[in-house]
Structure 1
């Protein structure tokens, strides 16, 4: 849905009228019972982002991912055949977790309890006095979890009946593959924990209505001129997913250092062809908890993982192609992450104040205006699944 014309004005309200205008119930943003239903109906049946292929550059390279919503620790490893797989980080003998390290490279994985040893493809290689178990080795491999990749991004799904990832993403799969993340060979990352529901946290990054109030100093590139709220110039929806085209201030109020740091990496980007990629200002929100922005000078992903009804963990990654070619490029990359972190630090307190207010029970409903359509769409997609009772796999309950 693109708003016509050369000058900016908000997207007409009737463009999102199909989403409705009714108030949204407040309890789903703090109620533990709703959170448990949501955990089963949404997070145990959806494709969840867990990493990037560049973290696993060679056979035996692994990362450990702990996903509290699934009560699971995963071992994600590239096999000798080059395929990336995910397994429960659990020895099938007595359940001991195999790996404590967050990442590394190993040719085999041995349980510290009784030395059952597995290859990077998950097969049992050896176990002391194995004949006494009256089992076959081929029946004792690590327990797999479905893992698929798109544009370098790795996703897992705990539902054995899940549709293929590319079917789940639909048209957005192709759009992801045209964004810088698809070419990434490295990234910078920071992780945060916040005393707020995952939806309330995620919603903060789906609307720009707050920019001029919460980010008056740091958000100069996102508001200004005839667009005082930084509203998007385009929005769209595809199944449970949504997108917006970020508006760019043609005359941002940047200090000289900020301007220099923002643009000193431009030559390298041009050499890599990243400046001409389509979807450079696109924000892709992939259900339920990931969004990716393709801005060439600051391409990043942000994943919000639910920990409890009132707690979440966020992982923000800025993606790069190649190692730093110069001190100037290093400065540009460090500044890109620092800028995101600084802006985000201004959000944390206000999000937590919102959570405290909702948890008080003072409100029965909250309100979304038309330019908060992405927030409304997320709630409706989540609530539809919760109300349908689409419980996750019984063994994961």
Structure 2
């Protein structure tokens, strides 16, 4: 019997009426000019998740991130004081990239071209024959990028003075800190590139309308006679961010034996590491513009969709864990759960790219969101409002300059 006290009812259109019902313009999902506005108004100004503190556990630990939309290579480093800093991966002599490795541990960073050497806090330590230069070492420190951490997750911003991260997260900050990701020590990762706009790609993962059609085998627990489309129990809107609570079919057929074993072992490992099922276990946290995280303690799943161009994106899917594998069966459980996530994603990819091909044709002037695609509509409205505010600001700036 379903554990809900009353039969499932989808969130009513009346409760979501404030989002509107008009068709959404199609052009922002393929137009290079609109993508350029998004790049400047949103991605060059907001906080973006690029990793987790478990990747840089010790002094000198670093990770490198290539951010195509910013034409930037970024170093995130843990310093001797345990502080986390982010720098452009560029020697201040003549621009040569300092690091080619994706991750590692170093006490200093030396340019391979002329051996200018920098500390983990970005200061220039030494440079051959520096007396011949007409500048001081302080002026040659590595260019910094804003960086902050919440719930163990590392965020960067290209803005000169971004809003404090916790202020930007608002009431979601404390909820995120209570999730297992805040204590994670390791993760499995799956990276993919897709010929699709970042919004079109992201939207696929914030609506359940497609579950019964694209995932008939894998969506058994997420759909059922009571809720044939697997619509969420509730939605939450937090400024530009949003949440939804996932519905579970308590009458779903029992999973196959390997899945039962995997979930059982994962549950044992979670309990052994003090991970409890929280009130947010069924919640999906979507942080503007391109990140979401599932609260589930067993498949603690995050997904970042990073824009590359108007019609191409890169996705990074992670399952976070607390503690290393303690047995072969625990290793199997974690690998199985990651493989399951990849299998489900493989079912999505083709239809996302097919949608992009259709939009690229210019045949549609508008697309349509139904009531339960509320998160998709909210994302577009948040993006478009930010773009319009940016356009108004730049136009005003031009008028003032004139």
TM-score (norm 2): 0.95
Question: 5 Å matches for 1:104-253?
Answer: 104-253=104-253
Q: Distance in 1 between matches of 2:262 and 2:339?
A: 11
State the match for 2:400 in structure 1.
none
Structure 1 residue 388: Cα displacement = 1.7
Q: Deviations over 1:342-389 (max 9, x none)?
A: 000000000000000011111000000110000000000000111122
Structure 1 residue 249: Cα displacement = 1.8
User: Are 1:179 and 1:278, in contact at CA under 8 Å, matched by a contact in 2?
Assistant: no
State the match for 1:263 in structure 2.
264
Gaps of 5+ in 1: none
Structure 1 residue 240: Cα displacement = 0.3
State the match for 2:345 in structure 1.
344
Number of residue pairs matched by the alignment: 390
Structure 1 residue 139: Cα displacement = 1.4
Whose relative contact order is higher, 1 or 2, with alpha carbons under 8 Å and at least 6 apart?
Answer: 1
Question: 5 Å matches for 1:3-42?
Answer: 6-42=6-42
Q: Secondary structure at the match of 1:221?
A: coil
Structure 1 residue 144: Cα displacement = 0.2
Structure 1 residue 251: Cα displacement = 3.1
Gaps of 5+ in 2: 398-402
Q: Distance in 2 between matches of 1:276 and 1:221?
A: 18
Q: Distance in 2 between matches of 1:265 and 1:36?
A: 43
User: Are 1:262 and 1:335, in contact at CA under 8 Å, matched by a contact in 2?
Assistant: no
Structure 1 residue 9: Cα displacement = 1.3
User: Are 1:64 and 1:101, in contact at CA under 8 Å, matched by a contact in 2?
Assistant: yes
User: Are 1:109 and 1:120, in contact at CA under 8 Å, matched by a contact in 2?
Assistant: yes
Structure 1 residue 89: Cα displacement = 0.3
Q: Distance in 1 between matches of 2:11 and 2:380?
A: 20
Q: Distance in 2 between matches of 1:248 and 1:354?
A: 28
State the match for 2:93 in structure 1.
93
Q: Secondary structure at the match of 2:319?
A: strand
Q: Secondary structure at the match of 1:125?
A: strand
Q: Secondary structure at the match of 1:344?
A: helix
TM-score (norm 1): 0.96
Question: 5 Å matches for 1:63-82?
Answer: 63-82=63-82
Structure 1 residue 273: Cα displacement = 2.7
Structure 1 residue 161: Cα displacement = 2.7
Q: Which runs of 4+ in 1 moved over 6 A?
A: none
User: Are 1:181 and 1:300, in contact at CA under 8 Å, matched by a contact in 2?
Assistant: no
User: Are 2:304 and 2:315, in contact at CA under 8 Å, matched by a contact in 1?
Assistant: yes
Q: Please give the root-mean-square deviation of Cα atoms over the aligned residues, in Å.
A: 1.4
State the match for 1:353 in structure 2.
354
